[in-house]
Amino acid sequence: MDILQFDLPLPDLSAWRAGNTGTEGVWQFDSGRPGRHVMISALVHGNEICGAWAIAGLLQALHQGLALDNGRLTLVLANLEAFDRFDAANHDASRFVDEDMNRQWIDARMDEGGTRERRRAAALRPFVRQADWLLDLHSMHEPSAPLLLTGVQPRNRDLARRMGAPMHIVVDAGHKDGTRLRDYGRFGLGDEEAGDSRSLLIECGFHGDPSSRDVARDQCLRFLEVASIFAPAALHEALPGWRQADAPAQWALEVTAPVVAKSSGFRFHAPFTGLERFDKAGTVIGDNDGEPVLTPYDDCVLVMPSVRQARAGVTVVRFARRSLL
């Protein structure tokens, strides 16, 4: 498998990895006034370094005088152990150490431990439980426009609309093989039971593309603007250049079905990178261990196709219907 050029440099996290909470990589800031508890997390996947750049930038601003107006802010560098193994020539190898941390957010798995990612998730769990709003920063295996994943809850779609970017919003129910951070606990509840909770996962583009860092910064700024825990003028002054242009339009891509590989032999019929659209149902897009993979309906969009992690049971692409957000 070819390795895509990795142009985004590694952030220096040495000043930030200790945290200020007694848990490595976890920082908390408290205004001392009532308000939302907002969390931004990065490095749930160790090779997705755009989010670590954004968290380091926020920490620098907070240490240089940016102060909360109300509520609390938690910043998390999640899988530092995987990040420490990062090698630009083989970056997929530092996605995790033992297993994918973004499938371990199930209390029984965290209680059981058994892998480094489950133990780390358990250590982060008390902070996650405190949070009202979560933005989880990720990047992608393949070059692609940014995707904001809202889950199926309308409250998160509303938040995406208020943020005004990115252009593509993925409405999805998560994965078969575990629970993501953004679906854990209260974040996964329906709108009636969830109170003020909101959670978003942003896929900022290809891991090694410097623009993924611009997207991560822009999304942090927009999320913090809507969360209203900083005075807007102070936030913009402390984070110059972080805001990018608004999306000209926002599209909701409603994920209807994942394609799960039967083996590492899964192949696409073209080098898809995501957001490809197919007019007609029944178009063959790949081969799943001898079985043709067909688009299930007209005007079908591909979401995050990738065979880099392909093996039995792993989602290699998802199908989605498109509508204006």
Residue nearer to Zn ion on the CB measure, 206 or 319 = 206
Exposure string over 22-50, b if 16+ CB within 10 A, otherwise e: ebebbbbbeeeeebbbbbbbbbbbbbbbb
Per-residue tokens: 115? 């892998």
130 to each of 68, 133, 203, 220, how far by Cα in Å?
Answer: 17, 9, 24, 19
In the complex, what is the shortest distance from the CB of residue 44 to Zn ion, in angstroms, rounded to a whole number?
6
d(Cα 253, Cα 256) in Å, to the nearest integer? 9
Shortest Å, Cβ 210 to Zn ion: 18
Q: Quick check: 241 and 214 in contact, CB under 8 A?
A: no
Shortest spacing between CB 308 and Zn ion, in angstroms = 12
Query: C-beta of 260: minimal distance to Zn ion in Å?
Result: 18
Shortest reach from residue 100's CB to Zn ion, in Å: 9
For Zn ion, give the closer residue by CB, 41 or 197: 41
What residues from 24 to 53 belong to the interface with Zn ion (CB under 5 A)? 45, 48
From the list 86-94, 137-145, 279-287, 314-322, the region that binds Zn ion by CB under 5 A is: 137-145
Span 219-238, contacts to Zn ion by CB under 5 A: none
User: Which stretch in 62-70, 82-90, 132-140, 282-290 sits in contact with Zn ion by CB under 5 A?
Assistant: 132-140
Mark residues 80-119: x for contact with Zn ion by CB under 5 A, - for none. Answer: ----------------------------------------
Binding segment for Zn ion (CB under 5 A), chosen from 1-9, 53-61, 135-143, 179-187, is: 135-143
Task: Give yes or no for a contact between 246 and 163, defined as CB atoms under 8 angstroms apart.
Answer: no
Which range, of 106-114, 131-139, 214-222, 237-245, touches Zn ion by CB under 5 A? 131-139
Question: Measured at CB, which residue is nearest to Zn ion?
Answer: 138
Q: Which is nearer to Zn ion, 72 or 168 (CB)?
A: 168
- What amino acid is encoded at 265 in this protein? G
DSSP annotation string for 25-69? TEEEEE-SS---EEEEEE-SSTT-THHHHHHHHHHHHHHTT---S
Q: Which is nearer to Zn ion, 109 or 138 (CB)?
A: 138
The CA-to-CA distance between both ends of the chain, in Å, stands at 36
How many residues bind to Zn ion according to rule CB under 5 A? Answer: 3
Max Cα distance, the chain (Å): 60
Binding Zn ion by CB under 5 A: which of 120, 138, 180, 182? Answer: 138
The C-alpha atoms of residue 218 and residue 3 are separated, in whole angstroms, by: 27
Closest distance to Zn ion from the beta carbon of 311 (Å): 17
User: In the block, which residue shows the tokens 């659209």?
Assistant: 277
Q: Rounded to whole angstroms, how far apart are CA atoms 43 and 50?
A: 9
Give the footprint of Zn ion on residues 261-320 (CB under 5 A).
none
| Complex with Zn ion: residue 178 or 296, whichever CB lies closer | 178
How far apart CA 10 and CA 256 sit, in angstroms, is 36
Residue 290 zone, left/alpha/beta (φ > 0; ψ -120 to 50; rest)? left
| Minimum CB–partner distance for residue 104 and Zn ion (Å) | 13
Helices (H) and strands (E) counted in the chain, each on its own, are: 7, 14
Kindly state the tokens that stand for 157. Answer: 């779609």
Smallest distance from Zn ion to CB 77, Å: 14
List interacting residues with Zn ion (CB under 5 A).
45, 48, 138
